């Protein structure tokens, strides 16, 4: 299942960059945006809830939705795919992990310096000033201790820009790496989907791990058609052997 040429490329690599998407958390039971919502939230379309407009119109509803999501994610556990990526970081000279996930499961599995492209579900920030607020007051709609505006979950909503630091650091890593792994992402949402192109333009080896290969895989060097929780541990074991 794992091409020895990919293992060899990882062994020779100076810098490995990995982009993960919702698929890496699938086996932890974290529901993705594109999956049907459960229970009370079944009748809502997440693409309409996760917008600044929805928050401005009904902050109470959006906070209820996010509290429900926080509970779901808090009850989930990192899976062998997350742990394998934390181990991979120890086996190569330089490692950059970029995730589109907001669930924090990479960090809980031991990954450090994770670039969170879409923010973190458990952080809060002021909707007016944009700054992160460490201790949110306990209220249906918590307000900023500094300016009194509504606080919101510190995630990137539809129509919002990716934080500059995350964008710059991940573009630089994609341009610098020798091996780029795209794991569990549909590669539909830009700019994250463009990272593999940047890596390719800069002559990195690019591999995708996805049980349903994406349309972009033809342009990549390797395609591992498997679930992340199965393929990543195998890849890392081969490298460590």
Binding of ligand APR by 170 (CB under 6 A): no
Q: Compute the CA torsion angle 164, 166, 169, 172 (nearest 10 deg).
A: -80
Q: Which of the ranges 16-24, 58-66, 87-95, 199-207 carries the binding residues for ligand APR, by CB under 6 A?
A: 16-24
Binding mask 89-128 for ligand APR (x = CB under 6 A): -----------x-----------------x----------
The single residue among 171, 189, 194, 238 that binds ligand APR, judged by CB under 6 A, is 189
Helices (H), 78-144: 80-91, 105-108
Tell me if residue 15 is catalytic.
Answer: no
Longest dimension (CA), the chain: 57
- What b/e string do you get for 90-122 counting C-beta neighbours within 10 Å, with b at 16 or more? eebeebbbbbbbbbbbbbbbebeebbbbbbbbb
Tell me how far apart the alpha carbons of residues 63 and 49 are, in angstroms, rounded to a whole number: 10
Residue window 26-55: x/- pattern of binding to ligand APR, with contact defined by CB under 6 A: xx----xxx---------------------
Q: Which stretch binds ligand APR (CB under 6 A): 103-111, 132-140, 162-170, 181-189?
A: 181-189
Q: Which residue is nearest to ligand APR (CB)?
A: 23
Stretch that binds ligand APR, among 87-95, 143-151, 166-174, 206-214 (CB under 6 A): 206-214
Q: For residues 11 and 44, which CB has a smaller minimum distance to ligand APR in the complex?
A: 44
**Is 11 among the residues that bind ligand APR (CB under 6 A)?**
no
With tokens 């964008």, the residue in question is 167
CB 194 within 8 A of CB 173: no
Q: How many CB atoms lie within 10 A of CB 190?
A: 10
Spot the catalytic one: 82, 106, 118, 127.
Answer: 118
User: Over the range 206-232, which residues count as b (16 or more CB within 10 Å of their CB) and which as e?
Assistant: bbbbbeeebebbeebbbbbebbbbbbb
CB 140 to ligand APR: min, Å:
25
Site string for ligand APR, 122-161 (x = CB under 6 A): ----------------------------------------
Helix axes 228-240, 4-12, angle to 10 degrees: 60
Residues making contact with ligand APR (CB under 6 A): 21-23, 26-27, 32-34, 100, 118, 184-186, 188-189, 210-212, 214, 227-228
Catalytic residues: 118
């Amino acid at each position: 299942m794992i091409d020895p040429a990919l293992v060899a490329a990882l062994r020779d690599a100076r810098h490995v960059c990995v982009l993960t998407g919702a698929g890496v958390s699938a086996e932890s039971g974290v529901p993705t945006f594109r999956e049907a919502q459960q229970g009370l939230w079944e009748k809502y379309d997440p693409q309409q809830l996760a917008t600044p407009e929805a928050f401005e119109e009904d902050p109470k509803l959006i906070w209820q939705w996010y509290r429900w999501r926080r509970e779901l994610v808090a009850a989930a556990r990192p899976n062998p795919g997350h742990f394998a990526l934390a181990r991979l970081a120890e086996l190569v000279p330089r490692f950059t992990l970029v995730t589109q996930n907001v669930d924090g499961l990479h960090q809980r599995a031991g990954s450090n310096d994770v670039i969170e492209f879409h923010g973190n579900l458990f952080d809060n920030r002021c909707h007016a000033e944009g700054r992160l607020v460490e201790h949110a007051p306990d209220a249906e709609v918590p307000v900023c201790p500094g300016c009194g505006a509504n606080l919101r979950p510190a995630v990137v909503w539809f129509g919002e820009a990716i934080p500059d630091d995350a964008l710059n650091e991940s573009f630089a890593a994609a341009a610098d790496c020798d091996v780029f792994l795209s794991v569990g992402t549909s590669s539909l949402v830009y700019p994250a989907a463009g990272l593999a192109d940047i890596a390719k333009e800069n002559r990195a080896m690019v591999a995708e791990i996805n049980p349903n290969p994406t349309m972009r895989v033809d342009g990549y060097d390797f395609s591992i058609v498997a679930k992340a929780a199965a393929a990543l541990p195998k890849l890392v074991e081969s490298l460590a052997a």
